[in-house]
Amino acid sequence: MTTVATPTVVQSTTVPKVIGLDLSLTCTGVAGEGWTDIIRPRTGLRGHPRLAFIIERVNDHILGADLVVIEGPSFGGGVAHRHEDLAGLRVMVRHACWRRGIPYAVVPPSCRALYATGKGSGSKGAVRDSVRTRYGIECDGPGRYDQADAYILLAMGLHHLGWPLAVVPDTHRRGLDGSQWPTTEGLAA
């Protein structure tokens, strides 16, 4: 009788590099484990120069990432006049990830709020409070809500990969289910 050795699968002890992006034409929130940042184009920068500025800064942040988690479109009021440029920005960021071989996920705003607050309609302030109390990350000043949103996206990405940053109630975890996740085979290896 011949025996076949079964390979041992060992999970890496290194936490994957996940970057959360709350894309905006005026103030993009960026987060990695333990930190947040914003990307703010100067006042008056519009069109292609503004998109190029944001994409260049995003590229700096996603370098070497194992996963990028991007907030999906919001179809609420107040964005119709800039819909085309914002949609273009989301496509350009996804393309930048693709060119670098970085898997990306798209998380609807309601799923981000659900993961943070337990309600898909959770307010920006409630999301920010959740980031402070659950993860110990202060998001203050300009872009505070963008930073908090990006941090929740990062936390969702790590949770999806099996590296949750904190214990999250089942009611909140449902936010992971409504998101578009890439195939994760090999990401954390």
Type and span of the H or E element at 21: strand 18-22
CA dihedral 22, 70, 77, 140 (to 10 degrees): -20
Alpha-carbon torsion (153, 100, 63, 51), positive or negative: negative
CA distances from 20 to 42, 59, 106, 112, 158 (A): 22, 13, 10, 11, 10
Burial of 115 (0-12, 13-18, 19+ CB in 10 A): buried
pLDDT digits (tens, 9 = 90+) for 33-80: 999 999 999 999 999 999 999 999 999 999 999 999 999 987 665 555
Cα angle 189, 166, 24 (rounded to 5 degrees) comes to: 80
Residue 22 near residue 150, CB atoms below 8 Å: yes
For 155, phi then psi, to 5°, come to -60, -40
> What's the pLDDT band for 83 if we cut at 50, 70, 90?
confident
Type and span of the H or E element at 29: strand 28-32
pLDDT digits (tens, 9 = 90+) for 126-172: 999 999 999 999 999 999 999 999 999 999 999 999 999 999 999 99
pLDDT at 106: 97
Separation CA 114–CA 120 (nearest Å):
4
pLDDT at 61: 98
